[in-house]
Amino acid sequence: AADIEKDLTEILHSEEEILAKLKELAARIEADYEGKDLLVIGVLKGAVMVMADLARSFSRHVEMDWMAISSYGSGTKSSGVVRILKDLDTDITNRHVLIVEDIIDTGLTLTWLVSNLQSRQPASVEICTAFRKPDAAKMAVPVKYVGFDIPDEFVVGYGLDYAEKYRNLRCVATLAPHVYS
């Protein structure tokens, strides 16, 4: 355990806090979609933890599907050019879909994804994200359900990775500079 912990500087949100917030969001979502079928779409890989905890906070039926997408371009993340690595198994025509994300950083990934899904003529598309960095936004993304706004710092855990590591942390924490410098 100490192994991972020495790479962190500050815990921004504990597991308990995150779970409590997702319960609140799940209650709002249940009320908003009352009487409607709901398909939740998790964006691999970061959204795995949020999806697992949000879905289990519902007392209603939800269908789950997954998409894997990747920004590509020169090295750094989120060029805004996105390619589909794994598409939905589900035809979302006339379906109410809720995209589930771990974090909105620049907003480029979700801007692309929302427009991609809209082109498939769903009944509705909304977004639920556990975290958002308002100060990093390059595109305004209309998000209906937000867990926490966080500062524009390097954060990991609860699905969020640095070089594919730290996703399995239960909390969300800032990464110590010695890790990435």
Residues labelled catalytic: 105
Which of 21, 41, 147, 139 minimizes the C-alpha distance to 86? Answer: 41
Least separation in angstroms between CB 49 and Mn ion: 11
β-pairing, 155-156 vs 39-44, is unpaired
Closer by beta carbon to ligand PRP, 4 or else 139: 139
Residue 106 touches which of ligand PRP, Mg ion, Mn ion, none (CB < 5 to 8 A by kind)? ligand PRP
**DSSP 8-state class, residue 176:** P
Binders in 53-92 for ligand PRP, by CB under 6 A: 71, 77-78
Closer by beta carbon to Mg ion, 153 or else 161: 161
43 counts as binding ligand PRP under rule CB under 6 A: yes
Based on its alpha-carbon atoms, the radius of gyration of the chain, rounded to whole angstroms, reads 16
Per the CB < 8 A criterion, the answer to whether 140 and 148 are in contact is: no
Residue 147 touches which of Mg ion, Mn ion, ligand PRP, none (CB < 5 to 8 A by kind)? none
- For Mn ion, what does the binding mask look like between residues 38 and 57, x meaning CB under 5 A? --------x-----------
Q: Which stretch binds Mg ion (CB under 5 A): 19-27, 50-58, 103-111, 153-161?
A: 153-161
Distance, in Å, from the CA atom of 69 to the CA atom of 113, rounded to the nearest integer, reads 9
Distance, in Å, from the CA atom of 172 to the CA atom of 102, rounded to the nearest integer, reads 11
